Structure 1
């Protein structure tokens, strides 16, 4: 495998720009948890400025800290189920076959970007691990020298481009699940199933356009020739051999190695899914977050074949959920301070923000204003679901006030929410663990994607938004 010559000519074009961007972003960006802590302080200061008493603010902080306990577990399970499915033997064999398809370095990078975005439409957790393992498999090829940093950045494109436009979108899943919605938000929006968000033709068109743009940029920003830095040059161990579980030694372990139990559990899950599809509208079934997680978890069990292999995969997946578990309570606290800590005249910060967006978002500018705001806030709160709960009460109230379609407002948030991921490395963490790289190795390439995506996203949310009409929310009894 070729190793980069340190005396070789520097990269040119987009590849050169990507590396220049990497040096600055890695130097100045702290850990994502720091952003969350700072966010709590900023929100608290905003509440004080609004006239809230210290007692009201700390009460809202403490009382709201665990408001997202159920949703936190659900989001952690999205990551875990994606990891378990991606590391199963059948998927591993599929990855090996796919890795043999590209025939040159740039095609390999753009191919990984395409696969990452495509899989992300189904499950963003699956996309991270699947893309990372595909990048490693391509890097192991002896007949093809590919820049490992560009491969890694391409593997992240599902999270940096279209994840929130897919079926595992935290905001869309939340809006489609009445039991997960805070009562204050439910009274504003009602329940919005995937037919009003993910599966509108406007959202699907936007998704396709962004995927095409992502693949093109990945292709032309990939270093070639002497500018390539391989995994070997980066001293990355590419051995993905997974040790087989030890041979059972006690009678009590027999069921751990049984293939019958996973098959029976899979059959029960399939029976439940069929029953749901026969008794409920299809969109309400596929929009159910709990049902979605059940299917993916049992699919992972079936694909691993035995409970022992499945449990080993779960143990490897758990560390990737750490960031979600410790950060989501902070997002819940932020949302509580914004919506419950009353200031002068009994008005909350959330209500002030709703008034502001209503005033500046008239005349067709609402979509652009919300998208820009979402990107900025996303740099400090890198969480699709957690941040939606912070934004949604005032954003959706503003959308109602300016007669913007509520389903499209969710999609404006979704497409804009992905953009900060290209700069803030929080969601890179599980992928970096798979790749054996650091954020600085990827972020130059992803920052370059951001520079192209940002204006395109603003144009799309404005143009496609003009095709919608406002529909009043249906509030459940």
Structure 2
């Protein structure tokens, strides 16, 4: 067994024993931030000690991400429905067969996840999870001794690359004056101006960082995979899940009456598919592919799943299967929204970001990266983090002669970096693949270490 594969085995064992489930982590994180906010946070004069509770349970706290939770739940359900459509299932399984060995299969899974995440973060998350599940079933069918959680970690790897991709929240919001004024305020926005994509996503810094991660990620997961038969603790995908991936649709009994014939009629499918397709075409025509958002991704998934299942009752049955995995999203999103409300309402988020802004020019972008990584553990939202850190970092960067695009991208890289430790974003993948957080976190930490070193090196040399 190679040294890196042995390191992966030790990381798997160590972190597997020490990592609780995401819900437990989120509860302890909520308690910690609540205590700190009460003890050290800002509150209006004369306000009671428990004023922080108002920030936690108010509409800007626990309930602020309800729309986002619905978007994420739909993304999971519709993505699972799409993957279960017979043409897609056959295509994914055929793609997994391009890899002949365990190491090639892990490399291919990471490559798919990272490539999709560069195109759109939600495609990377759901697509990576679905491909990892199919790869696990393919490995089992071919008798490859491959640790299934390693495939799942590879399927999650794209979430450490997404903010430098085409759906990056901060770069996209920095392209218009209106969005810059909304985040920075009119005075600072006038000094900074807009940041065009050819300076951010298409700039030399980001092309180097993101291109390097696209190469490093698959190679790392290839190296972490023991050769066939070398892993003494290889755990394949569960039989039930493998059967679910490869199962063909059962033969249906003929409809019993006119209502059942209607419910199975493709006419119902087309009555919804046509307006969905028209809405999608109109959106792309008006805004272009570069401004695709989560609603557009969900609309695309809905349209594709509906058409590929063909019949409405088959589509509904596939969605019902996907709904089972939504519990983690529905419970975790409000808790993290409450943490965000506590941090903002108590002023702790601003103080945390400002603490890293007082740095020399040579280390400014590196410390911006590290502060963003730390803040992401508490505020797992690229857009939310840009709103909190953007004004502070750009103001401090201007005074040190740092290009606004460099300061912004340093924050974006830090935001994506600690996604490998953030159970908030892992919830959809865990639901699709049916593994536990403790099963994948060891591999994610190794990817985080390698990717973090690459990003810091690029920031030191290129900014």
CA–CA distance in 2 between the matches of 1:226 and 1:355? 51
- Report the equivalent of 1:442: 440
CA–CA distance in 2 between the matches of 1:306 and 1:355? 55
Match of 1:27 among 6, 17, 26: 17
- Report the equivalent of 2:39: 48
Label 1:335 to 1:181 Cα distance change in 2 as closer, same or farther (>3 A).
Answer: farther
Equivalent residue of 1:228, what SS? coil
Give the C-alpha shift of residue 232 in structure 1. 7.2
- Report the equivalent of 1:420: 418
Which of 306-315 and 398-407 deviates more? 398-407
- Report the equivalent of 2:335: 330
Structure 1 contact 95–133 (Cα < 8 Å) conserved: no
TM-score (normalizing by structure 2): 0.80
- Report the equivalent of 1:352: 351
Equivalent residue of 2:88, what SS? helix
CA–CA distance in 2 between the matches of 1:430 and 1:384? 15
State whether structure 2 residue 39 is matched by structure 1 residue 39: no
- Report the equivalent of 2:279: 272
Equivalent residue of 1:138, what SS? helix
Match of 2:3 among 13, 28, 32: 13
Structure 1 contact 116–155 (Cα < 8 Å) conserved: yes
Alignment size in residue pairs = 442
Give the C-alpha shift of residue 41 in structure 1. 3.4
- Report the equivalent of 2:55: 60
CA–CA distance in 1 between the matches of 2:134 and 2:374? 32
Label 1:407 to 1:151 Cα distance change in 2 as closer, same or farther (>3 A).
Answer: same
Label 1:181 to 1:274 Cα distance change in 2 as closer, same or farther (>3 A).
Answer: same
User: Which consecutive unaligned segments of at least 5 residues does structure 2 have?
Assistant: none
Structure 1 contact 421–427 (Cα < 8 Å) conserved: yes
CA shift digits 1:351-394 (9 cap, x unpaired): 4335423323x41433211322233344455x345xx5267324
Label 1:147 to 1:26 Cα distance change in 2 as closer, same or farther (>3 A).
Answer: closer
Give the C-alpha shift of residue 437 in structure 1. 4.1
Which of 143-152 and 250-259 deviates more? 143-152
Match of 1:261 among 249, 254, 268: 268
CA shift digits 1:51-76 (9 cap, x unpaired): 53424312222222222322332233
Equivalent residue of 2:98, what SS? coil
Matched ranges for 1:203-214 at <5 A: 203-214=206-217
Match of 1:368 among 355, 366, 375: 366
CA–CA distance in 1 between the matches of 2:368 and 2:431? 33
- Report the equivalent of 1:249: 256
Structure 1 contact 15–445 (Cα < 8 Å) conserved: no
State whether structure 2 residue 388 is matched by structure 1 residue 398: no
Equivalent residue of 2:229, what SS? helix
CA–CA distance in 2 between the matches of 1:60 and 1:158? 33
Structure 2 contact 365–410 (Cα < 8 Å) conserved: yes
CA shift digits 1:232-266 (9 cap, x unpaired): 76764421215448543332232332223333433
Which of 166-175 and 121-130 deviates more? 166-175
Give the C-alpha shift of residue 20 in structure 1. 0.8
CA–CA distance in 1 between the matches of 2:21 and 2:262? 42
Label 1:275 to 1:457 Cα distance change in 2 as closer, same or farther (>3 A).
Answer: same
- Report the equivalent of 2:157: 157
Which of 63-72 and 146-155 deviates more? 146-155
State whether structure 2 residue 453 is matched by structure 1 residue 455: yes
Give the C-alpha shift of residue 223 in structure 1. 0.7
Structure 1 contact 26–440 (Cα < 8 Å) conserved: yes
Which of 86-95 and 65-74 deviates more? 65-74
Give the C-alpha shift of residue 212 in structure 1. 0.6
CA–CA distance in 2 between the matches of 1:67 and 1:429? 18
- Report the equivalent of 2:130: 130
Label 1:288 to 1:18 Cα distance change in 2 as closer, same or farther (>3 A).
Answer: closer
CA–CA distance in 1 between the matches of 2:181 and 2:323? 27
Give the C-alpha shift of residue 38 in structure 1. 3.2
CA–CA distance in 2 between the matches of 1:177 and 1:258? 46
CA–CA distance in 1 between the matches of 2:377 and 2:92? 32
